[in-house]
């Protein structure tokens, strides 16, 4: 990955904006609205507009922004976003695998550290971990050159009944939800089958061959699945 240079983009706030735009834009790199960014980041819409104008006006622009049309990342902005995400997910994996952090603790800790680790430390962490492809929540870790594995995932609640699936990733934004997922066994690689009997947004799920259990709408919305591949079941 070509390393990111402009000093103006080294703040935590800028990194958080770039990551949020990348996350919200989806695989097609679509435009993201200011309101969507404001909701995602928990800031006022006016603050979002000011930051986007600043990032678009840099000598090396980090975003392309048009009022009322939204924003998308420039090549430089995308490189930086992927670099910070790589730092974050490697740190999560290291904290989980080597320092015994639980999977509901690693996101917040990695958020603090991701902006500051050197490329030398990043390389050493990756090497010690064996250059992993996924973080503890099942999210792909961008490669050193910025390549990211693309996957088609579907929310658990939208998966068809009686069709075997495997959990591919889970949302890492809510520690309480992560603890509940762990208790239920809804972890990456777990085999699941949706049973008839959806009610008020909840779903009835058989997890790993156990008796069916009811999963709340909040939990179901944070679990993404793919078709089950034999030999990859936990």
Residue 233 is assigned to a structural domain of this protein: no
Residue 70 is assigned to a structural domain of this protein: yes
pLDDT above 80 for 79: yes
158 in the same domain as 146: no
Structure tokens at 198: 């959806």
Confidence of residue 144 (pLDDT cuts 50, 70, 90): very high
Question: Average pLDDT of 63-75?
Answer: 92
Question: Average pLDDT of 180-207?
Answer: 93
CATH number for the domain that contains residue 41: 1.10.10.10
Bridge partners (DSSP) listed for residue 166: 191, 226
126 in the same domain as 80: yes
Spatial distance between the Cα atoms of 71 and 56, rounded to a whole number of angstroms:
9
Q: Select from 110, 125, 150 the last residue of a domain.
A: 150
Residue 11 CA to its chain's centroid (Å): 20
What is the structure's pLDDT at 8? 43
Confidence of residue 233 (pLDDT cuts 50, 70, 90): very low
Overall pTM surpassing 0.85 (yes/no): yes
Domain that holds residue 62: 1-150
Spatial distance between the Cα atoms of 227 and 223, rounded to a whole number of angstroms:
14
174, exposed or middle or buried, with CB in 10 Å at 0-12, 13-18, 19+?
A: middle
CATH number for the domain that contains residue 204: 2.30.30.90
Question: Average pLDDT of 122-134?
Answer: 97
pLDDT, greater one: 1 or 189: 189
What is the structure's pLDDT at 230? 63
207 in the same domain as 134: no
Task: Report the candidate in 153, 164, 168 with the shortest Cα–Cα distance to residue 230.
Answer: 164
Q: Are 205 and 212 in contact (CB under 8 A)?
A: yes
Q: What is the mean pLDDT of the chain?
A: 91
135 in the same domain as 22: yes
Q: Select from 102, 133, 150 the last residue of a domain.
A: 150
């Amino acid at each position: 990955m070509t390393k990111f240079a402009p000093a103006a983009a080294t703040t935590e706030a800028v990194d958080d904006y770039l990551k949020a735009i990348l996350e919200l834009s989806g695989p097609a790199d679509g435009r993201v609205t200011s309101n969507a960014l404001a909701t995602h980041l928990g800031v006022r819409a006016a603050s979002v507009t000011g930051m986007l104008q600043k990032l678009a006006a840099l000598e090396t622009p980090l975003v392309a922004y048009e009022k009322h049309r939204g924003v998308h990342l420039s090549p430089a902005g995308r490189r930086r976003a992927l670099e910070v995400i790589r730092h974050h997910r490697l740190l999560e994996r290291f904290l989980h695998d080597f320092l015994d952090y639980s999977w509901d603790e690693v996101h917040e800790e990695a958020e603090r550290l991701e902006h500051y680790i050197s490329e030398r430390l990043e390389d050493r962490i990756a090497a010690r971990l064996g250059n992993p492809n996924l973080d503890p929540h099942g999210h792909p870790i961008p490669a050193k050159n910025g390549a990211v594995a693309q996957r088609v995932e579907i929310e658990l609640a939208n998966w068809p009944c009686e069709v075997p699936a495997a959990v591919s990733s889970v949302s890492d934004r809510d520690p309480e939800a992560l603890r509940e997922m762990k208790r239920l066994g809804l972890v990456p690689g777990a085999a699941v089958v949706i049973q008839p009997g959806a009610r008020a947004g909840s779903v009835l799920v058989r997890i790993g061959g156990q008796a069916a259990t009811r999963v709340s709408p909040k939990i179901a919305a944070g679990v993404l699945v793919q078709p089950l591949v034999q030999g990859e079941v936990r």
